[in-house]
């Protein structure tokens, strides 16, 4: 009997879960402040780069199926040494940074829905700590549980985001801000490219599929499909969201609400209920991203430690599981 636990749907869910998370909720406002009306173009530029990168990842994942994912690819390309060790440590640090970004986004949205102490700053830190601890426990339990949670989380947040798109398109019919999408409101080429670079953070996550390859059923068929389906879907989703956001709110209001801009976009059409619904979507999305990032990051730390590029203690077992896995 095969011990493979993740099917195509689960792999796609991990990819989408990693991408549609803290990134879009955390950087959309900043990206708009950089590119202004050209934000959808910036999303497209970043999306094209993501598509080519995902294609490379699919080929590498087939050639070197390993839970280490990118770590294995780097080692195969440069050999085990100072260069690969340095790059792998940078990769490990990038997972920590992305995890912090997603957790921070979760903490920014949570106080809008749940009040714990009455102090927004304290509530934010409590939310950040709690979500990381809960996601860590889930990841430590089993890969199957991670996949199941990602599958359900992806369905829920996509339903909400697609609903947001439908409502947003309806609201744009009477919006006075549609002219903001006109090329006359685009920033210069440098700002658009800079916006694309910032936005690429929102596409980070598809590479987590590489870390799940060893748990994936029928990898020859499902690896390329998982990468392409998840990335193409998210590119289309993000561009649509960018169009709706820029066309719905004035730039000044977007800048003021940049940390929770998607919730603010839902207000004109749905009022406070829309704000609350999008806040819930943000919490689900950022939790999903944290969950998926921990899944991939844990495997990266284990593989890097296994090569003695991180403390070897991360390979020690606790409750029959490696500490760094």
The pLDDT score that the predictor gives to residue 293 is: 79
Q: Are 91 and 13 in contact (CB under 8 A)?
A: no
**Does residue 3 fall inside a structural domain?**
no
Q: What is the mean pLDDT of residues 1-8?
A: 67
Q: How far apart are CA 139 and CA 293, in angstroms?
A: 10
pLDDT of 54 above 90: yes
pLDDT of 69 above 90: no
pLDDT band (50, 70, 90) for residue 97? confident
pLDDT of 219 above 60: yes
**Does residue 1 fall inside a structural domain?**
no
Least confident of 6-15, 18-27, 157-166: 18-27
Buried b / exposed e along 247-273 (16+ C-beta atoms within 10 A): bbbeeebbeebbbbbbbbbbbbbbeee
pLDDT of 248 above 70: yes
**Does residue 2 fall inside a structural domain?**
no
Q: How far apart are CA 109 and CA 28, in angstroms?
A: 14
Q: What is the mean pLDDT of residues 35-61?
A: 93
Q: 304 or 225, which is more confident?
A: 225
Q: What is the mean pLDDT of residues 63-82?
A: 83
Nearest to 28 by CA among 233, 280, 284, 286: 286
pLDDT of 250 above 80: yes
Strand pairing partners for 317?
322
Q: Are 262 and 254 in contact (CB under 8 A)?
A: no
Q: Specify the number of domains making up the chain.
A: 1
pLDDT of 285 above 60: yes
CATH number at residue 113: 1.20.1740.10
**Does residue 241 fall inside a structural domain?**
yes
Mean pLDDT of the chain: 84
The pLDDT score that the predictor gives to residue 261 is: 83
Share of the chain above pLDDT 70, in %: 94
pLDDT of 227 above 90: yes
20 is in which domain, residue-wise? 8-322
- Digit-coded pLDDT (tens) for 171-193: 787 777 888 999 998 988 999 99
Q: Are 23 and 31 in contact (CB under 8 A)?
A: no
The pLDDT score that the predictor gives to residue 128 is: 92
Q: Does an H or E element contain 282, and which?
A: helix 261-306
- Digit-coded pLDDT (tens) for 124-150: 999 999 999 988 888 777 777 777 777
**Does residue 309 fall inside a structural domain?**
yes
**Does residue 129 fall inside a structural domain?**
yes
Of these ranges, 235-244, 253-262, 265-274, 302-311, the one predicted with the greatest mean pLDDT is: 235-244
pLDDT band (50, 70, 90) for residue 1? very low
pLDDT of 324 above 90: no
Q: What is the mean pLDDT of residues 195-206?
A: 85
In sequence order, what are the residues at sequence separation of 6 or more whose Cβ sits closer than 8 angstroms to the Cβ of residue 77?
84
Read off the pTM: 0.80
């Amino acid at each position: 009997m095969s011990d493979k636990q993740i099917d195509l749907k689960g792999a796609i869910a991990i990819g989408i879960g990693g991408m549609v998370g803290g990134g879009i909720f955390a950087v959309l406002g900043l990206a708009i402040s950089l590119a202004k009306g050209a934000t959808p173009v910036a999303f497209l530029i970043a999306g094209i780069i993501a598509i080519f990168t995902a294609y490379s990842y699919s080929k590498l994942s087939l050639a070197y199926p390993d839970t280490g994912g990118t770590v294995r690819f780097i080692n195969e390309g440069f050999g085990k040494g100072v260069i690969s060790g340095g790059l792998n440590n940078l990769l490990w640090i990038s997972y920590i940074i992305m995890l912090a970004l997603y957790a921070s986004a979760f903490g920014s949205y949570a106080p809008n829905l749940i009040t714990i102490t009455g102090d927004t700053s304290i509530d934010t830190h409590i939310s950040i700590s709690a979500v990381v601890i809960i996601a860590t426990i889930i990841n430590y339990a089993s890969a199957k549980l991670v996949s199941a949670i990602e599958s359900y989380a992806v369905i829920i947040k996509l339903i909400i985001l697609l609903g947001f798109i439908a409502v947003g398109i309806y609201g744009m019919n009477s919006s006075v801000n549609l002219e903001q999408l006109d090329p006359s409101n685009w920033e210069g080429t440098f700002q658009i490219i800079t916006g694309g670079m910032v936005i690429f953070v929102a596409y980070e996550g598809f590479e987590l599929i590489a870390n799940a390859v060893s748990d994936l059923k029928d990898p020859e068929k499902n690896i390329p499909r998982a990468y392409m389906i998840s990335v193409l879907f998210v590119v289309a989703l993000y561009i649509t969201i960018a169009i709706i956001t820029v066309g719905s709110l004035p730039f000044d209001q977007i800048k003021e609400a940049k940390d929770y801009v998607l919730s603010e976009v839902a207000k004109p059409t749905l009022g406070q209920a829309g704000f609350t619904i999008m806040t819930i979507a943000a919490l689900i999305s950022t939790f999903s991203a944290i969950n998926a990032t921990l899944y991939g990051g844990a495997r990266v730390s284990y593989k890097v430690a296994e090569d003695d590029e991180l403390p070897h203690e991360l390979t020690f077992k606790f409750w029959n599981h490696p500490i760094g896995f």
